[in-house]
Amino acid sequence: MANPEAFTTASEQETFAVGQTLAASLAPGTFVLLHGDLGAGKTAFVRGMAAGFGANPEDVSSPTFVLIQHYRGRVPLVHVDLYRLETGAAVDDLGLEEMAGGGVVAIEWAERLPRPLEGSVTVKIDDLGNDSRLISIER
């Protein structure tokens, strides 16, 4: 696999911008697998992706009980958060493979996937302290 691209951001807005830029380069059918601790900025990154696709970024949130959300833009974006899923079996029931269709699927807590997904880009966000984040993107 190619060397990851790396970005250091100093604010939520900068992380949003990296997500927005990535979105512009993604083909329909791509899975974006997001890794990073709670508060790393995964949802902020997905908010930027939504903006990149022309959807309303304000619709992107991490509500407590919603696992899957759809945002309508030029490219449909499916936003999945696996944080509350305990087992790989439960992930299987979601039918993620079928979810992309003509759009892009962004998955938070992708480490909970039971197996790799075809056609994916991996985004890792590390909290470097304060508002600094290291974002690496591997495709």
Q: Is 47 near Mg ion (CB under 5 A)?
A: no
- From candidates 20, 30, 36, 76, binder to ligand ADP by CB under 6 A: 36
DSSP state of 53: T
Shortest reach from residue 120's CB to ligand ADP, in Å: 18
> What gap in Å lies between CA 26 and CA 28, rounded to an integer?
7
Tell me how long the chain is: 139
The closest residue (CB) to Mg ion is 43
Nearest distance, CB of residue 1 and ligand ADP, angstroms: 23
131 near ligand ADP (CB under 6 A): yes
CB 135 within 8 Å of CB 7: yes
Helix (H, G, I), strand (E, B) or coil at 138: strand
Instruction: Report the chain's terminal Cα–Cα distance, integer Å.
Output: 7
Strand partners, 33: 107, 122
Cα separation, 68 vs 62, whole angstroms: 10
Which region among 27-35, 49-57, 62-70, 86-94 touches Mg ion (by CB under 5 A)? 62-70
Alpha carbon distance 10, 84 (integer Å): 28
Kindly state whether residue 38 participates in binding ligand ADP, applying the rule CB under 6 A.
yes
12, interface contact from ligand ADP, Mg ion, none, CB < 5-8 Å by kind? ligand ADP
Q: Is 136 in the site for ligand ADP (CB under 6 A)?
A: no
Minimal distance, residue 135 CB to ligand ADP, in Å: 8
Closest contact distance (angstroms) between CB of 83 and Mg ion is: 7
* Interacting residue ranges for Mg ion, rule: CB under 5 A: 42-43, 62, 108
